């Protein structure tokens, strides 16, 4: 199988960070669900007083008769979502990640995961990309909390178009699905023609010295890092948009090829995507590995840009971390 | 439509049989809750043998009433009642309660037995799910096709999520939804009014814009009449406060919160069965009158 970037129909100006379009993943998810609503009568959208900012509004404006507003009551949001699923609807519940996953985690476990109810949880406002609202709203534990739940599918689209595709793909899955997006606008580097298959990691750029695995908007930063480091390192970049079910095959094959794995995510390094990679490789193909992300701490208020810089999630920090890791790995 | 005396006695007799099977089930299991299930035996009997629109041979019938058990720990009484009503649960299977490999889980598992409608156990979650089902039916214009019943404990009204759901059901005027509260006044650590006072429970529901009915949860004629009345109320969801006696039918269990979460031992079970059999004979004597 060819795995160069051409197959993925990424934007033409992929590496031109100055001109690449910036779009919000939450808009992609919201618009995707609205488009789905036009095709599928059984889709219902539920919101918890964040219809606007979570982007449930696109569906709500078009299909008010299939929109449910539960108010500021996230436990009830999940319970009602389960009720709609038990009845036979395909409910999509929207709100910010800390309120969607953190607050009602046990109802998610009991009413969605245990009975394997087909419902889709769509989070805006995940990670430090939430910005000025501060640590209460910057959810960096949601992947850890969802990927440990039996029956749950965990999707972390990489940009606007992928978020749009992910919410639509979720419709055809079984059981509960979590779709993680972000508040801040980020590089829109995939296109309508970029394929998206749940559970199938995407080798967006081939390389031989290092495997760099990202999810969410960090994937683009890895592509930039690979491009900027191309004269010193050949980096394979993988978009691990599906954390669960985990694509063992793609990740193991790449680790075998490069012998070193670096992961990058806007999430706590404890329990996140990097941990999932470490679990799989630790068992199947132990190689030097570095998990880059939020270092088990609460951040602070600030613009996303300032937070990315201070907490080492911007491209420059990623490049520094990769260089440091490669140097360290050489001593092992 | 009120019950004839004969129908009332039949239901009472059935409830007595169900209580006896419950005691046998709990003693065979060596684990499980006694007080709540005994206290709800009459209401479960009334539901499955008189009130519910259901078909035990076709448990996924789309027009069946949905019976959502929120306080999942009293599920033993549901297993026994469903067995008696003709669902695919055998007498032998009742003896496997809480044992490895059994479908008869300690708390209801939808995965094992879809006719249970939901999985439950963690308290305060059932009403949200019942409201979601009722709302989905309304969305499809099917609010008259079936009724949604949600059984709750009084103790789980200490959960915030319950009140979120109470607000929600009133907002959407879910008149195809009835919640029945097992007002037995006990919870694991003691008496509800000591642990966390719930009163005035009726006025709380009324102030949340629900219609509220009350009934003696051990009077078959009153139970069936109240449940039918609840279905007829159109302007709002309905709450029925069912005043029950925990441990009902076994004198040493009645009103004693210590029986909330434990089964009888063999000796206690024998004593309980003796009492229930004698009660059953009295119902039969009444039958003959």
Question: Does A74 qualify as catalytic in the annotation?
Answer: yes
The yes-or-no verdict on residue A96 having pLDDT over 80 is yes
This prediction has a pTM of: 0.96
Contact B123/A at CB under 8 A: no
Residues of A with CB below 8 A from B133's CB? 83-84, 86-87
Q: Is A314 left (phi over 0), alpha (psi -120 to 50) or beta?
A: beta
Taking only residues 222 to 261 of chain A, the set having a beta carbon closer than 8 angstroms to any beta carbon of chain B reads: none
Contact B160/A at CB under 8 A: yes
Residues of B with CB below 8 A from A86's CB? 117-118, 129, 132-133
Q: Model confidence over B186-213: pLDDT tens digits?
A: 999 999 999 999 999 999 999 999 999 9
Band of pLDDT at residue A6, cut at 50, 70 and 90: very low
Give the orientation angle of helix B160-171 with respect to helix A74-87, to 10 degrees: 60
Band of pLDDT at residue B261, cut at 50, 70 and 90: confident
Cis peptide before B43 (omega within 30 of 0): no
A47, A87, A93, A95: best mutation site toward chain B, by most B Cβ within 10 Å?
A87
What is the mean pLDDT of the segment spanning A102-129? 98
Question: CB burial class (10 A; 0-12, 13-18, 19+) of residue B243?
Answer: middle
- Name the average pLDDT for chain B: 95
Interface pTM, i.e. ipTM: 0.96
Are the beta carbons of A32 and A40 closer than 8 angstroms?
no
Which helix (H) or strand (E) is B160 found in, with range? Answer: helix B160-171
Q: Model confidence over B4-17: pLDDT tens digits?
A: 999 999 999 999 99
Are the beta carbons of B44 and B127 closer than 8 angstroms?
no
3-state secondary structure (DSSP) of residue A317: helix
What chain A residue is nearest to B133 in terms of C-alpha separation?
A: A83
A67, A86, A88: best mutation site toward chain B, by most B Cβ within 10 Å?
A86
What proportion of chain B, given as a percentage, has pLDDT over 90?
92
Find how far residue A157's CA is from the centre of its chain. Answer: 4
Distance from CA of A142 to the nearest CA of B (A): 21
B30: its two tokens = 């060596």
**Which candidate, B151, B170, B154, places its Cα nearest to that of B72?**
B151
Contact B120/A at CB under 8 A: yes
Find how far residue B143's CA is from the centre of its chain. Answer: 22
Give the orientation angle of helix A273-284 with respect to helix A248-258, to 10 degrees: 70
Are the beta carbons of A89 and A44 closer than 8 angstroms?
yes
Q: Model confidence over A281-303: pLDDT tens digits?
A: 999 999 999 999 999 999 999 99
Find how far residue A192's CA is from the centre of its chain. Answer: 18
* H helices present in A9-70, as ranges: 25-39, 51-54, 57-62
Q: Model confidence over B120-140: pLDDT tens digits?
A: 999 999 999 999 999 999 999
A292: phi then psi, degrees, rounded to nearest 5: -105, 135
What is the C-alpha R_g of chain B? 18
Find how far residue A126's CA is from the centre of its chain. Answer: 9
Residues of A with CB below 8 A from B131's CB? 76, 79-80, 83
| C-alpha atoms less than 13 angstroms from C-alpha of B236 in its C-beta half-sphere | 17
**Which candidate, A74, A61, A69, A266, places its Cα nearest to that of A183?**
A266
Minimal Cβ distance to B139: which of A66, A75, A78: A66
Q: What CA–CA distance (Å, rounded) separates A309 from A311?
A: 6
pLDDT of residue B189: 93
Q: Which of A64-68, A171-175, B32-36, B190-194 has the lowest mean pLDDT?
A: B32-36
3-state secondary structure (DSSP) of residue A187: strand
Q: What CA–CA distance (Å, rounded) separates A16 from A57?
A: 32
Give the orientation angle of helix B75-85 with respect to helix B5-29, to 10 degrees: 120
């Amino acid at each position: 199988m060819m795995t160069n970037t051409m197959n993925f129909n990424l934007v033409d100006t992929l590496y031109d960070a100055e001109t690449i379009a910036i779009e919000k993943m939450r808009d992609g998810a919201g618009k995707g669900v609205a488009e789905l609503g036009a095709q599928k009568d059984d889709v219902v959208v539920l919101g918890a007083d964040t219809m606007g900012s979570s982007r449930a509004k696109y569906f709500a404006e078009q299909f008010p008769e299939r929109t449910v507003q539960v108010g500021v009551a996230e436990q009830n949001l999940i319970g009602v979502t389960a009720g709609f699923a038990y009845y036979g609807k395909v409910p999509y519940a929207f709100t910010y990640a800390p309120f969607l996953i953190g607050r009602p985690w046990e109802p998610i476990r009991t009413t969605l995961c245990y009975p394997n109810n087909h419902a889709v949880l769509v989070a805006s406002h995940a990670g430090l990309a939430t910005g000025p609202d501060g640590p209460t709203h910057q959810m960096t534990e949601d992947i850890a909390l969802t990927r440990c739940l039996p029956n749950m599918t965990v999707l972390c689209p990489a940009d606007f178009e992928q978020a749009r595709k992910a919410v639509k793909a979720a419709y055809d899955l079984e059981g509960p699905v979590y779709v993680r997006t972000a508040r801040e606008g980020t590089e829109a580097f995939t296109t309508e023609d970029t394929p998206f298959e749940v559970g199938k990691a995407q080798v967006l750029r081939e390389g031989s010295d290092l495997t760099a695995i990202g999810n969410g908007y960090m994937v683009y930063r890895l592509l930039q890092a690979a491009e900027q480091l191309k004269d010193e390192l050949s980096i394979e970049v993988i978009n691990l948009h599906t954390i669960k079910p985990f694509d063992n095959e793609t990740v193991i094959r790449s680790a075998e090829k490069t012998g070193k794995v670096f992961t990058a995510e806007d999430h706590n390094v404890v329990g996140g995507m990097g941990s999932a990679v470490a679990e799989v490789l630790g068992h199947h193909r132990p190689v030097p590995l570095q998990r880059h992300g939020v270092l088990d701490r609460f951040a602070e208020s600030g613009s996303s840009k300032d937070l990315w810089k201070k907490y080492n999630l911007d491209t420059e920090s990623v490049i520094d971390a990769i260089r440091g890791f490669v140097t360290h790995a050489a001593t092992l | 439509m009120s019950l004839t005396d004969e129908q009332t006695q039949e239901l009472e007799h059935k409830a007595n049989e169900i209580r006896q099977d419950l005691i046998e089930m709990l003693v065979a299991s060596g684990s499980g809750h006694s007080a709540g299930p005994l206290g709800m035996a009459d209401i479960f009997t009334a539901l499955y043998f008189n009130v519910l629109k259901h078909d035990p041979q076709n448990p996924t019938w789309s027009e069946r009433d949905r019976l959502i058990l929120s306080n999942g720990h009293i599920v033993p009484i549901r297993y026994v009642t469903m067995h008696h009503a003709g669902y695919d649960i055998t007498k032998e299977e009742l003896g496997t309660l809480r044992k490895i490999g059994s479908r008869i889980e300690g708390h209801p598992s939808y995965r094992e037995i879809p006719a249970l409608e939901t999985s439950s156990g963690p308290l305060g979650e059932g009403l949200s799910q019942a409201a979601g089902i009722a709302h989905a039916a309304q969305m499809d214009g099917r609010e008259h096709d079936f009724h949604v019943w949600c059984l709750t404990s009084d103790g789980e009204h200490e959960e915030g999520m319950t009140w979120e759901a109470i607000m929600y059901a009133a907002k959407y005027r879910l008149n195809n939804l009835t919640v029945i509260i097992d007002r037995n006044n006990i919870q694991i650590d003691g008496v509800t009014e000591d642990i966390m006072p719930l009163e005035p429970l009726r006025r709380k529901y009324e102030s949340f814009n629900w219609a509220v009915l009350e009934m003696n949860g051990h009077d078959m004629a009153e139970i069936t009449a109240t449940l039918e009345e609840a279905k007829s109320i159109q302007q709002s969801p309905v709450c029925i406060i069912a005043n029950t006696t925990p441990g009902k039918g076994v004198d040493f269990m009645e009103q004693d919160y210590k029986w909330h979460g434990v089964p009888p031992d063999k000796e206690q079970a024998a004593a309980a069965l003796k009492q229930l059999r004698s009660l059953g004979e009295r119902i039969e004597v009444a039958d003959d009158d």
